[in-house]
Amino acid sequence: MKNKPLFLIIILSVIALGFSSCALFKGNKFKVNTSFTVYGDCEMCKERIETALDRKGINTAYWSLKDQKVFITYQSDIFTEEQLHNIVAMVGHDTDKVKADDIVYQNLPGCCHYRKEETEW
Ligand SMILES: [Cu+2]
């Protein structure tokens, strides 16, 4: 049985290949694009929003200051769209569905205070 190790290596490679193509397929199957309104006021907001969304299960996240919108590609088997809204709201940014906690919002640097009612006071 001189060939046994070689045979084992081949079997293991086939199994590994099977797993990786499975993962690849899975990755595409659940990959979803979405965009929704996220309020912010400056480059620091952009950094804060994109950093909050920089996590496993989120492929790309881009926030546009001009559009007041975030564009996200994520894995729908890991996150729901509601969770994405919550992640952004948690760091102090209102979305079109979830309002950020007032205390978290108050603690943002002054330049990041995007809520209109506050600047009008
Ligand atoms: Cu800001």
Closest CA to 34 of 62, 8, 7, 54: 62
Fold (topology level) of 31-120: Alpha-Beta Plaits (3.30.70)
CA of 70 to the centre of ligand 1 (A): 14
The dihedral region occupied by 57, where left means phi > 0, alpha psi between -120 and 50, and beta the remainder, is left
For the chain, the domains span: 31-120
DSSP letter at 108 equals: S
Q: Report pTM.
A: 0.76
Tokens 């969770």 found at: 83
Output the CA 60–ligand 1 centroid distance in Å: 20
Q: Could you tell me the distance, in angstroms and rounded to a whole number, from the CA of residue 18 to the centre of ligand 1?
A: 46
Does residue 19 register a pLDDT over 90? no
CA of 8 to the centre of ligand 1 (A): 57
- CA of 117 relative to ligand 1 center, distance in Å: 16
Read off the pLDDT of residues 41-66 as tens digits, 9 standing for 90 and up: 999 999 999 999 999 999 999 999 99
Give pLDDT tens digits for 67-93: 999 999 999 999 999 999 999 999 999
DSSP codes, 89-115: HHTT--BSS-PPPHHHHHTS-GGG---
